[in-house]
Structure 1
Amino acid sequence: MEILNLSSNYINGFIPLELSYLNNLQTLVLDHNKFTGQIPLWVSSFNDLAVLSLKNNSLFGSLPSSISSSENLRVLAMADNHLFGEIPSLQNLTNLQILDLKNNYFGPSFPVLHHKVVTVDIRNNSFKSSVPNELNSYFQLEKLDISINELIGPFPPSLFSLPSINYIDISGNKLTGKLFQNTSCNAHLVLVNLSSNLLTGELPACLRENVEEGAVSYDGNCLSGEEGNQKPLSFCHNEALAVEVSPQKLRHKERKAMAVLVSSLVGGIVGLAVIVGLSLWVFQRRNRRAAVKGPSTRLITEKLSTVNTVKLISDASKILSLSSLFDLSS
């Protein structure tokens, strides 16, 4: 058997293990049923599997990492389930054309895909990262729906002019960036939804002509000169500062925290060395005073501390050098 389609039934329970014995399976479609449980690991064991569609069930858990080895996969559809967690890298799936993961809980990182993908639909999930720059090289991309997530960072307007693009929906995120009136667009765009983001600038002229037809939406941004529900420019600037932390700032914070930690260690070691040194000095002074009192005084030999004060100070110097190195790198 090469094709198995059991969609639109009332089948419940786990996906049967017996299906794993269909070694020549190329298409497995179990959409619109009541399957529960996790996605079986054996779904990626079919060498010729091209279509795997499990949409609209009650599956939970994560997407098996072994799916990244299904090199012949063309359609991966897991929409409308209760799936969550990171998406394993799909970059090696050079034949993948359709990725449909909408209405789940996947995230937070944006999926890593091969540039030949045609449809990317990750609507209504838990993605919280930025939109990768690699999307600019997806020259076969026709549909991009990343709406209703928590994506941050700049939205690349160059996506409007991808050679195959006809559908873009980025609404319901916290994407930033400035749009320009002279931005170019693909003439075959049939829908563009930019609503409820933090975009500034002006709506591109190539999109304006389709606004009246309902093919372009942009409410809930901070675009200038536009009618409708546009927020003040200051709102988008403040929100962008609140949600967007660049990798450079993160690295700077990490270096600063490390420098503080090193400084604290240095202070602790130097302080310990001073305390030990003072204790030894007080102890030796008392011994000398006891010796001056005369031969009748019994001399008590104490076992001195084994703490090496010179080594402590040496270690402190090394850590001070390390702290200086962190300050220079920041």
Structure 2
Amino acid sequence: MDPNELESLFRVMEALTMEIEWRRHYPHPCSSTPWPGIHCEQQDDGLSHVTRIDFGSLPNSTCKRNATMDPSLLQLKSLRGLFILNCFVDSKTTIVPGISKLASSLQMLSLRGNPSLVGEIPSEIGRLSKLEVLSLSQNGLSGQIPKELGDLAKVEHIDLSYNALSGAIPGELGAIKSLSILDLNGNLLSGHIPSSIGEASQLQKMDLSGNRLTGRIPSSLGSLAGLKFLALSDNELTGELPQSLANLVGIEYLILHGNPMRVELPDFWSKLTNLSELSLSSSGYFGSIPASLGDLIYLSELSLEDNLLNGSIPSSIARLSNIYHLNLSNNLLSGPVPFQRDFLYRLGENLDLRGNVDLCLTVDRIVVQAEILAALFAGASTSFA
């Protein structure tokens, strides 16, 4: 290894590791005394170069409590992957300035679970032209998401979840044609969901939940033909669910609870036959439960609790042969419960109809189940023939 690169590696390790005499114990980390967490490769110049650093997860080394990110990291010109987990916990540190100097090599940047990693996300990360994975979740980062991240033409995975990021979601993210995962959950983001996100044609998972987003869900999201997971819960979104969502025929998880929508539910559900989980609770929906929900043959979880839904429970819901969690509690539902014995037995305590005082249940000759059913339907009147 080149002596200058070796010295830079020593400094990086000494800023991170609990090993006090790192130089003495591991004088040749790429050869005779390999060290867990350091990966090297011999390259065209005949020398070994550091290509990956892993810290904070077994079997690799744990970090010292006052660990920081040393600028010598920028001298590791062949570094393709940097993974630091649960490392920066006591001494505040920032993403090292000048990180764009690694643009010729860096493909994966994952700094997760570091509460003392603070400051803003540097806009120069947008110049890491080879970057495929950007994971900065569960840190102490603040400020706005740089619009320059939209220049990451090869990135497939962006995870900035559980920080204190604020401001708007940059519309430039929609220009990333390679993006398959976008996770911005658990921040302080505000403003509208940019319609340009619908142009990120390779998206399979998008999680924008737990922010302060307002306005309507953009109809452009219906263009994301490959989307399998969409979570927009616990924001301040309003208005109708766009009819274009019916185009998401491959969607498996649709998590939209905790928004003040205050509209009637649409009736396009029969087109989303791959849905496994649908969560629409605590959103002020009123009117009747759409019968088309009964066409979702793969649905395992349906959450409609804490709304203003009225009328009867559609008999089609009883056709959901894969359902194991059904919550219709705390609505204004009335009339007979259309579920037969096998359906009730299968769901057991995972069926919740409480808080619908005008529901009634008549079950033929199942008196033995009275106590169980009374617990399930507390707040509903229950009779047995």
TM-score bin (small chain): 0.5 to 0.7
Provide the residue aligned with 2:13 in structure 1: none
Q: How does 1:9-28 map to 2 (within 5 A)?
A: 9-10=87-88, 12-17=92-97, 19-23=99-103, 24-28=105-109
* Cα distance change of structure 1 residues 95 and 181 upon mapping to structure 2, 3 Å threshold: closer
The structure where helix makes up a greater share of residues is: 1
Corresponding residue of 1:159 = 245
Which is bigger in relative contact order (C-alpha 8 A, separation at least 6)?
A: 1
Report what 1:230 is aligned to. 331
- Aligned partners of 1:50 and 1:72 also within 8 Å: yes
Amino acid at match of 2:330: N
1:55 matched to which residue of 2?
137
Aligned twin of 2:255: 169
Asked if the contact 1:28/1:52 (under 8 Å) is kept, the reply is yes
Check conservation: 1:195, 1:217, Cα contact below 8 A. yes
> Please, what is the CA RMSD of the aligned residues?
2.4
Counterpart among 128, 144, 149 of residue 235 in structure 2:
149
Task: Specify the SS of the correspondent of 1:4.
Answer: strand
Deviations, residues 259-306 of structure 1 (Å, cap 9, x unaligned): xxxxxxxxxxxxxxxxxxxxxxxxxxxxxxxxxxxxxxxxxxxxxxxx
1:125-140 equivalences under 5 Å are 125-140=211-226
1:42-62 CA-to-partner distances (Å, cap 9, x unmatched) read: 211111111111000000100
Q: Which residue of 2 aligns with 1:30?
A: 111
Please report the TM-score for the alignment, with normalisation by the length of structure 2.
0.55
**Count of aligned residue pairs for this structure pair:** 231
Whole-angstrom CA distance in 1 between matches of 2:186 and 2:289: 29
Say whether residues 1:99 and 2:182 are aligned partners. yes
Q: Kindly tell me: are residues 58 and 183 of structure 1, through their superposed partners in 2, closer, same or farther at Cα, counting changes over 3 Å?
A: closer
- Compared CA separation, residues 191 and 183, structure 1 to 2 (3 A): closer
In structure 1, the partner of 2:83 is 5
Contact 1:182 1:205 in 2 (8 A): no
**Superimposed CA distance per residue, residues 113-154 of structure 1 (whole angstroms, 9 cap, x where no aligned partner):** 124211110111010111001112211111111000000111
% identical aligned pairs: 29
Deviation of 1:231 after TM superposition, in Å, equals 5.1
Shift of 1:180: 5.5
Residues 309 and 331, structure 2, Cα contact 8 Å, conserved in 1: yes
SS in 2 for 1:153: coil
Q: 1:180 to 1:49 in 2, by over 3 A?
A: closer
Q: Distance in 1 between matches of 2:214 and 2:100?
A: 35
Which residue is equivalent to 1:121? 207
Asked if residue 88 in structure 1 is aligned to residue 170 in structure 2, the reply is yes
Deviation at 1:185, TM superposition (A): 4.0
Give 1:157 shift.
Answer: 5.4
Alignment CA distance shift 1:56-1:176 (3 Å): same
Tell whether 2:161 aligns with 1:79. Answer: yes
Distance change in 2, residues 1:40/1:181 (3 Å): closer
Equivalent residues of 1:115, 1:135 under 8 A apart: no
- Higher radius of gyration, 1 or 2: 1
Structure 1 or 2: more strand by fraction: 2
Q: Which amino acid in 1 is paired with 2:192? A: S
The equivalent residue for 1:200 is: 286
Tell me the distance in 2 between the aligned counterparts of 1:115 and 1:216: 28
CA distance in 1, matches of 2:262, 2:303: 16
Could you tell me which amino acid in structure 2 is paired with residue 100 of structure 1? D
C-alpha spacing 1:161/1:176, structure 2 compared with 1 (3 Å) = farther
- Measure how far apart 1:99 and its partner are: 0.8
Per-residue Cα deviation, 1:75-122 (whole angstroms, up to 9, x for no partner): 111100010001111221111111100110011111331242111101
Q: 5 Å matches for 1:294-305?
A: none
Amino acid aligned to 2:231: D
Judged with a 3 Å threshold, the aligned counterparts in structure 2 of structure 1 residues 158 and 109 are, in CA distance, closer, same or farther, namely closer
TM-score, with length taken from structure 1: 0.64
**Can you give the 5+ residue segments of structure 2 that lack an aligned partner in the other structure?**
1-78, 314-327, 334-385
Whether the 8 Å CA contact 1:171–1:195 is kept in 2: the answer is yes
Query: What's the CA shift for 1:160?
Result: 5.4
